[in-house]
Chains A and B, each alone.
Chain A
Amino acid sequence: MSAVAEALEMERVESHLHPEGSFVVDEHPVPTGREEVWRFTPLKRLRGVHQDAPLDGESFKVEVDLAPGVTATSVAAADSRRGLSGLVPLDRISARAWEASSSVFEVDIPEDAVIEGASTIRVAGTGTDDATAAHLLVRAGRFSRATVVVLYSGSATWAENIEVVVEDGAELTFVTVQDWADDAVHLVSQHARVGRDATLKHVAITFGGNVVRSDTSAEYAGPGGSVEMLGLYFADAGQHIEHRLFVDHNAPKTKSNVVYKGALQGEKAHTVWIGNVLIRKVAEGIDTYEENRNLVLTDGCRADSVPNLEIETGEIAGAGHASATARFDDEHLFYLRSRGISEKEAQRLVVHGFFNDLIRRINVPELEEKLTTTVEAELAKNVLKELV
């Protein structure tokens, strides 16, 4: 790694986009809510996970459904390959989860393996009384191709680190679906390292949970890597869904494309999207674009959307971002209604339309129907109440 770093002439960059990590819990003070990175998060609802609440819970079940060729093993932390992605905890929760995890769940795709169909890991929480620490490591070997889906459901207080390693020339689609029960709290730090000419499609789908906060960062282990980050979320009354993304363009000729779309409905539904991109001096010829769109369906919701772009070289192919938060577009509804379609039905079409191209881009056939029906079920709670 140090050879690569030297070859790339990587330098330290002083930036709030890029804080120093540490494995030592006490080097991360308990957040107060006044910090930039914590100001949106409802700390009181984290059940003390950000303080000192024990993380030794075992109220969960894991089921695994792997495509042939993919392996998944629970390995004692000491014997595991954790850290392979370069993840260093950036906050207290991540550091505590690291310290408390006695084992690491390793999913491995062998070199050169081209795997059809998705491999699915189902995590089902069975209670919120105790908090659990978890660590997942997904490695896609050189020139492999595979899809890995993690489905979360049930009730849990879940603190987690996820590492994704995509080796040179590999193509990995990694999906998390947070379909938690209404009382779940999920705090996860994810870090991906994308190899030379490798491609990572990182998909985050969030429907359930009381508080979901996901920190996802990606860096490149060589030139030519490509990262696509797609997100789809639907926040109901009282739900807090926070996605914080950071793409560190630390190698030349790399690409990143981020599209997160969300809908909000109900009193105190709150979503947060932070899209950080750092283009280092060495990262010439890179191309990055990030986009966040929120559709506000009812009164009483709040969507925060903050794109940040820090550029240290002008020698790039492209860099841009877009953010929009809006209610239904009256012109869309008028056009559909002028063809006889009722107002509710028109709203339904517009919301499905809003998510459809994203679902198409996610392009995991095993999930497509589930996503469409879940969007429909979410709509039934408010928009379509009178229709069903």
Chain B
Amino acid sequence: MSTLEIKDLKVQVNTEDGPKEILKGVTLTIKDGETHAIMGPNGSGKSTLAYSIAGHPRYEITGGTVTLDGEDVLEMSVDERARAGLFLAMQYPVEVPGVSVANFLRTAKTAIDGEAPKLRTWVKDVNGVMERMNLDASFSQRSVNEGFSGGEKKRHEIAQLDLLDPKVAILDETDSGLDIDALKVVSDGVNRFRERDGKGVLLITHYTRILRYITPDYVHVFVDGRVADEGGPELAEELEANGYEKYLGTTV
């Protein structure tokens, strides 16, 4: 059971010209087992939504609520949110020098589960995931994201999704910068996660390409910090054909 409920969420960031409102009241509910795609032009606030839910300090919540199975997410610290079952696959994963992937994954798994994973099964699990994500066995010994190619960074994010097994995954433009082979590997990883019981996915993307591999239950069109349109997977096809012009016209 997992429901992520976002109600009338308003978010601002501080810029040189003072605070700027980015999200102007976003309402969205992701129920058990559902996959929602959020599409929209650059600057519409898609990534802001992702980072606000994850608790990045740059984003200031000025109104609304976010709950996960009724628990107030906005009251939680960044790590509490992750332990409550939220996961954010980042568009630009951060390099952490000197911290090995192996050490990082084990520390994260221990934190999420509240106990260290059993060594034998854990090594098997990690190796299995690395293989499925088409990442070399030596990958575990490298520093987190340091010197990774764009594709490796994204595959490493999805490897974490697999291992950490959250309730709800937010994927922020996981498809951007991927060639078609890497896109398939990443999509397969996300689909394997979706096959598990009751997992929610919020898939943020600029392009419809990834939706050929991951079929969403709902599509939301984001424009200027609001949901401008909603529909089923057919809405993505329409966007592919006609672009965002229709929505941009109405908001100017």
Contact = CB atoms under 8 A, between A and B. Distances in A.
A349 B54 CA distance: 20
A340 B79 contact: yes
Interface in B112-162: 112, 143-144, 160
Interface residues of A, number: 23
Contacts of B107: 341, 345, 349
A353 B104 CA distance: 11
Given A339-B164, A341-B107, A353 B82 contact: no
B108 A353 contact: no
Contact of B96 (A332, A340, A343, A355): A332
Which one of A330, A341, A354 has the greatest number of beta carbons of chain B within 10 Å?
A341
Residue picked from B55, B79, B83, B93, most chain A C-beta under 10 Å: B79
A352 interface: yes
B57 interface: yes
Given A339-B82, A340-B112, A349-B107, A355 B98 contact: yes
A330 B57 contact: yes
B143 A335 contact: no
Nearest to A360: B98
B99 A350 contact: yes
B252 interface: no
Interface in A305-346: 330-332, 334-343, 345-346
A26 interface: no
Nearest to A341: B111
27 contacts: A334-B78, A335-B144, A336-B96, A336-B104, A337-B78, A337-B79, A337-B82, A338-B54, A338-B55, A338-B78, A338-B90, A339-B82, A339-B87, A339-B108, A339-B111, A339-B112, A339-B160, A340-B111, A342-B111, A343-B77, A350-B96, A350-B99, A353-B98, A356-B99, A357-B97, A357-B98, A357-B143
A223 B199 CA distance: 65
Interface of B: 54-57, 77-79, 81-83, 87-88, 90, 93-94, 96-99, 103-104, 107-108, 111-112, 143-144, 160, 164
Interface in A182-213: none
Nearest to A331: B94
A335 B160 CA distance: 12
B219 to A, nearest CB: 26
Contacts of B164: 339-340
Given A334-B57, A335-B90, A338-B88, A343 B79 contact: yes
A349 B94 contact: no
Interface in A239-293: none
A340 B90 CA distance: 15
Interface in A24-49: none
A37 B93 CA distance: 43
A50 B160 CA distance: 57
Contacts of B78: 334, 337-338
Contacts of B143: 353, 357
Contacts of B160: 339
B57 A335 contact: no
B57 to A, nearest CB: 7
A37 B87 CA distance: 53
A339 B109 CA distance: 8
A353 B111 contact: no
Contacts of B98: 352-357
A337 B88 contact: no
A349 B96 contact: yes
Nearest to A333: B78
A353 B108 CA distance: 15
Contact of A349 (B55, B90, B103): B103
A268 B54 CA distance: 36
A355 B97 CA distance: 9
A339 B106 CA distance: 11
Contacts of A346: 79
A339 B144 CA distance: 13
Contact of B94 (A332, A341, A352): A332
A341 B57 contact: no
